[in-house]
């Protein structure tokens, strides 16, 4: 793959062959060297060949090989002439992360940390196929799919302020539950309020460093503060939505004569009935994921108060923000000096709205949207904020996390004969987990160092570092 360096943090795949636009990779020299091995750069070039794509096919520094689109990929398509690909959004629709702040410090919980970890592990179901305490009839499930976080709060799971601090207020209004298959609905009935497995987690952390004191104050962050981070998505329901629509689009594309460099990029025109049906079903899965994370945050609040024997006022646990990683949304952006309606696809990428942009709470408009960037179990995570540069260059997008360095198979091989739990505890991180194989797949070495990833997006100016968090206890599937 021929690459041209544009500056220390930007590399270009020139527009050649069937590419309609160039590819832009946000990374540094060491990141580019590693990327030459896994095929994800070819996926960027493949995305650049899709009809209706605008400006460039982009990839963030946490890029790695995905299904069709690379994970860490960003692309915008003209709303009238572009396509939508389920593989572009991914199987875990609205896999996302939320960060809650508290009034507590590390010293306040040190002696009770093991008890907190145990209680959270019991209260928030985790693991492959896990089911939750919220069991739904089909009619109730359809309300979840239409209302998202609003349904959860109306049922007593959290508060109104949580909704305001969730991307899109926790609901995409084009959701149409009647578009989902019976299999998708069945898979969603019993998994609400569950963490799942794989890279999903619940983490108690502490604010270790502050880089931007003004923005940190606006976000309610302070040195030594205890935080809670949740990472989960739409569970089996979202997986089924993707699977159903991929299968249908593969059949349609095969008959259409549309050239695709990879069958995994099966797609439909956004304005076609098939494209609109996918977007309506995808919105259902996105709303399910927001409700899922909302319910888990409510349980976390309860566990903290019960375990520490403190009041809501003493805990003061507030949602800083909830961002989604795998989603396609209708947005308006400036393109070549003119406003243009586009469909922005972020797969393993986070929305990063800059200052004075509507769509985020008023107090954040002074500094930019909060961005939650999780790392691995043993190192760190970051809070960033959106910038004007992101609005100009990346359709308001940035990285979503560390990005895998090893495949799950390679990670398990590297972890053979080791006790990952003991290794993490020596670093001061308690771990509670359901599956031993999952723990090996998610070991710190399986991921890039998130500090290196964040340094690139900060250096490129597409987001700005606000604070660094260190894990204290982690719940895994």
Residue-wise pLDDT for 102-113, tens only, equals 999 999 999 999
Instruction: Extract the runs of DSSP E, i.e. beta strands, from 392-462.
Output: 397-399, 430-433
Q: What is the pLDDT of residues 14-28, one digit of tens each?
A: 999 999 999 999 999
- Residue 115: CA atoms inside 13 Å, Cβ hemisphere, count? 11
Strand, coil or helix: 97: strand
DSSP secondary structure code for residue 70 in this structure? P
Q: Is the pLDDT of residue 303 over 90?
A: yes
Give me the torsion for CA of 233, 237, 241, 247, rounded to 10°. 110
pTM comes to: 0.96
DSSP secondary structure code for residue 360 in this structure? S
Q: Is the dihedral of CA 213, 216, 221, 227 positive or negative?
A: negative
Domain range enclosing 433: 4-476
CA 129 to CA 125: how far, in whole Å? 10
Region of 191 (left: φ > 0; alpha: ψ -120 to 50; beta: rest) is alpha
Q: What is the pLDDT of residues 425-462, one digit of tens each?
A: 999 999 999 877 788 889 889 999 999 999 999 999 99
Q: What is the CATH number of the domain that holds 400?
A: 3.90.1860.10
Q: What is the pLDDT of residues 328-373, one digit of tens each?
A: 999 999 999 999 999 999 999 999 999 999 899 999 999 999 999 9
Q: Is the pLDDT of residue 215 over 90?
A: yes
Q: What is the pLDDT of residues 41-92, one digit of tens each?
A: 999 999 999 999 999 999 999 999 999 999 999 999 999 999 999 999 999 9
Q: Is the pLDDT of residue 257 over 80?
A: yes
- In sequence order, the β-bridge partners of residue 318 are 101
Tokens representing 405 are: 């360095």
Q: Which residues are catalytic?
A: 400
Tokens representing 84 are: 């939508």
Instruction: Extract the runs of DSSP E, i.e. beta strands, from 325-448.
Output: 326-335, 338-347, 349-351, 370-373, 381-386, 397-399, 430-433
Q: Is the pLDDT of residue 277 over 90?
A: yes
Number of domains in the chain: 1
pLDDT at 435: 75
- In sequence order, the β-bridge partners of residue 78 are 342
């Amino acid at each position: 793959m021929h690459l041209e360096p544009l500056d220390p943090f930007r590399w270009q795949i020139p527009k050649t062959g069937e590419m309609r636009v160039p590819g832009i990779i946000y990374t540094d020299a060491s990141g580019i060297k590693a990327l030459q091995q896994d095929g994800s750069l070819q996926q960027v070039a493949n995305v650049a060949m899709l009809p209706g794509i605008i400006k460039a096919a982009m990839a963030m520094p946490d890029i790695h090989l995905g299904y069709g689109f690379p994970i860490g990929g960003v692309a915008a398509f003209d709303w009238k002439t572009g396509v939508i690909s389920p593989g572009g959004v991914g199987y875990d629709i609205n896999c996302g992360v939320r960060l809650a702040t508290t009034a507590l410090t590390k010293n306040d919980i040190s002696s009770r940390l093991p008890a907190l970890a145990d209680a959270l592990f019991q209260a928030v179901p985790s693991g492959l196929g896990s089911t939750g305490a919220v069991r739904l009839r089909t009619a109730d499930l359809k309300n979840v799919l239409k209302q998202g976080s609003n349904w959860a709060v109306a049922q007593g799971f959290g508060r109104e302020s949580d909704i305001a601090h969730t991307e899109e207020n926790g609901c995409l209004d084009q959701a149409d539950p009647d578009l989902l298959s019976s299999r998708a609905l069945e898979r969603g009935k019993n998994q609400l309020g569950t963490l799942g497995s794989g890279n999903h987690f619940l983490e108690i952390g502490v604010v270790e460093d502050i880089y931007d004191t003004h923005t940190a104050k606006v976000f309610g962050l302070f040195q030594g503060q205890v935080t809670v981070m949740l990472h989960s998505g739409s569970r089996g329901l979202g997986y089924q939505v993707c699977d159903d629509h991929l299968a249908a689009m593969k059949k349609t594309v095969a008959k259409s004569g549309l050239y695709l460099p990879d069958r995994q990029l099966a797609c439909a025109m956004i304005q076609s009935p098939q494209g609109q049906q996918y977007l309506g079903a995808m919105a259902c899965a996105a709303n399910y994921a927001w409700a899922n994370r909302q319910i888990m945050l409510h349980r976390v609040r309860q566990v903290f108060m019960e375990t520490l024997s403190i009041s809501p006022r003493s805990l003061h646990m507030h949602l800083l923000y909830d961002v989604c990683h795998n989603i396609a949304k209708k947005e308006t952006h400036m393109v070549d000096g003119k406003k243009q309606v586009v469909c922005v696809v972020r797969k393993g990428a986070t929305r990063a709205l800059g200052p004075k942009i509507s769509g985020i709470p008023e107090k954040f408009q002074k500094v930019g949207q909060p961005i939650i960037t999780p790392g691995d179990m043993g190192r760190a995570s970051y809070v960033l904020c959106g910038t004007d540069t992101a609005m100009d260059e990346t359709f308001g997008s940035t990285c979503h996390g560390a990005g895998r360095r090893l495949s799950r198979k390679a990670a398990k091989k590297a972890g053979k004969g080791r006790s990952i739990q003991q290794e993490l505890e020596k670093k001061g991180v308690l771990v509670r987990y359901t599956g031993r194989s999952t723990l090996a797949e998610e070991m710190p070495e399986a991921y890039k160092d998130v500090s290196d990833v964040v340094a690139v997006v900060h250096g490129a100016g597409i987001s700005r570092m606000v604070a660094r968090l260190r894990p204290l206890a982690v719940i895994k599937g």
